[in-house]
Amino acid sequence: MSTAPLRLALIGLGDMGMTHLDIFTGLPQAKIAAVADIHAPFADRAASQIPSAVVFYDPLDCVNNADIDAVVVATADDTHFDITQACIARGLHVLCEKPLTTTAHQSRQLVDAEGAIGRRLVQVGWMRRFDADYQNLHSALRSGAIGEPVLISQRHRNPLSVIKFDERELITSSASHDIDIFRWLCGEDIAEVSAITKTSQDGAAVIVVLTLASRSGVLGLIELGRGPGLSYDIGCDIVGSAGALTLTPADLERADDHVAQPHTEAWIQRFAQAYRTQNAAWLTAIATDSAVGASARDGYATNAVIDAALAALASGHAEPIIQDR
């Protein structure tokens, strides 16, 4: 195990990227060696906080030429594929914010690229896996405390003042967290998905409901929404053959303290400790040549569900999840 700090490049320095910068500057296992953003003021803002970091205005230039061990990708969704592909080609570990890419086909290419070099390099930033509340649900379910899981229900709501997603964007962006959690809790892939949506007459409120079935038949229900009367709110309930589990009232009360007023960082505040735990665990995994969190394969599987959910939204009926093995 190496004791030298890992040299990191942070690529994408908006709100999420600056959150990662603040976390990694507080972790002795890391040294931020490079920062990059195509928006020069963002890159320069980060550089002012880390004067020793080399500044790049081209993410691929950073990946290919910076003196680094690993990369954090917090750029726009449609840039993830090219940047992550370049990281794999150079043999760099990468923590990529969700979604891994914007299509299952692209994510499959990254899975294959990892397979070709015989090493796991990619972790997808689904931080809920590192949240204590979700870990407690996962542990209790795995212990058999409620018997066989039958139904996993989730909600994911955002204020209109922060999120202006239409029904497709709620599926392609917001839903990825909930789809990943369903797979993680079930411990298996999803077989089919359906999607229905309702938009208020004034267009202010949009709700999407996804129904899922795992390969063994566990049912899933995901409510996604945004509206002017909503605050950031997440929830998860599991019904089993011998009981039920939910996020505890105390945890929800604590979360409400953070999100009483809508603002752009509500989800970051709710999952602040989860982000810290995720990032520290990622660094440790690199140093010990182990693996934690969601893999490129998990990213691909979630993209396959998203693709099918979009097809279901168009067709009006359930669609099978098609994955290469």
Span 202-257, pLDDT tens digits: 999 999 999 999 999 999 999 999 999 898 999 999 999 999 999 864 443 444 44
For residue 269, what pLDDT is reported?
87
Residue 55 CB-density burial (10 A; 0-12 exposed, 13-18 middle, 19+ buried): middle
Q: How confident is the model at residue 268 (pLDDT cuts 50, 70, 90)?
A: confident
Handedness of CA 154, 159, 164, 167 (dihedral sign): positive
Q: Which residues contact 42 (CB under 8 A, 6 or more apart)?
A: 13, 14, 17
Which architecture does CATH list for 6-127? Answer: 3-Layer(aba) Sandwich (3.40)
Residue ranges matching CATH 3.40.50.720 in the chain: 6-127
> pLDDT tens, 111-128?
999 999 999 999 999 999
Q: How confident is the model at residue 265 (pLDDT cuts 50, 70, 90)?
A: low
For residue 255, what pLDDT is reported?
43
Distance between CA atoms of residues 83 and 80, nearest Å:
5
Percent of the chain residues topping a pLDDT of 90: 88
Which architecture does CATH list for 128-274+306-319? Answer: 2-Layer Sandwich (3.30)
For residue 258, what pLDDT is reported?
40
Distance between CA atoms of residues 219 and 35, nearest Å:
43
User: Is residue 22 scored above 50 in pLDDT?
Assistant: yes
Residue ranges matching CATH 3.30.360.10 in the chain: 128-274+306-319
> pLDDT tens, 63-92?
999 999 999 999 999 999 999 999 999 999
Distance between CA atoms of residues 256 and 212, nearest Å:
28
